[in-house]
Structure 1
């Protein structure tokens, strides 16, 4: 009987010690501070990398003050064929967000990169990640080239100027 008591006491002491070992390791001086420093550096790197232009081939877009009507017309046709099943030109959500005012909220490069490169955008761009989390649907890659994305951008600019 006495042997069982000592065995039980020994077992409970040793198992308690093992459970606390992980907690003690996490409380080592400098470990928590080191993790915080690494997280801060990653956040700074992300902030520095996020210039509002998104992730993709488009780094610079020249848009004029006036709408290029011919380009916007091409963009309208492309939008109706590739985008309108998921997006409205109002602020109403369908599958994806409504696009009213998008050219006022986002840089032209971001819009074009989202059209051309939606998967990488939702993996790497903070704004696109938030949109994916909010709408819970990955934007489908419609295989739009840069020229066509520029036309869609011009159509969206025309829509926003008309509002």
Structure 2
């Protein structure tokens, strides 16, 4: 009985710490005009929630062209999601740790999705809808270190889930 309690406690501790950490990313890698990578602040020190754009979010992604569906990009996005996302999200409406993905591309703009999945912390801090979601899920989405290409591929996979063809 004692060993069963020890195993249960160890499993609980592992689950508690496995999806994230206390490290927050406060910057987004960007390319300078000469092509070298630099660190740019993700957000100003204090973002005024009154000026926050809930259609775009916070981050470098804007004007994402989703006029044509790309099946190869969606397949690559599915592979990324299987490694980095599906331990917390299902491709259905069902909540796992985080919300299900079905319908997300109908509720949010491509820019918002890419900005959120590539650097979630600044948006969680100011987006009222994300703060409500945090109250339901009780776990902040960890930054998975997605670059622009990865984020775009995951977005295309989300579009496929929502019926893009």
- Common topology (TM > 0.5): yes
Structure 2 gap segments, 5+ residues each: 1-47
Aligned-partner Cα distance in 2 for 1:148–1:136 = 26
Partner of 1:60: 63
TM-score, normalised with respect to structure 1: 0.67
Kindly indicate which of the two structures has a greater share of residues assigned to helix: 1
Aligned-partner Cα distance in 2 for 1:114–1:54 = 7
Structure 1 gap segments, 5+ residues each: 1-44
TM-score, normalised with respect to structure 2: 0.66
Partner of 1:113: 115
CA RMSD of aligned residues (A): 1.5
Kindly indicate which of the two structures has a greater share of residues assigned to strand: 2
Partner of 2:127: 125
Aligned residues: 117
Output one character per residue of 1:108-129: Cα deviation in whole Å (capped at 9) or x when no partner. Answer: 1111111111111100222222
Q: Report which of the two structures shows the higher radius of gyration computed on alpha carbons.
A: 1
Note if contact 2:49-2:126 (Cα within 8 Å) is conserved in structure 1: no
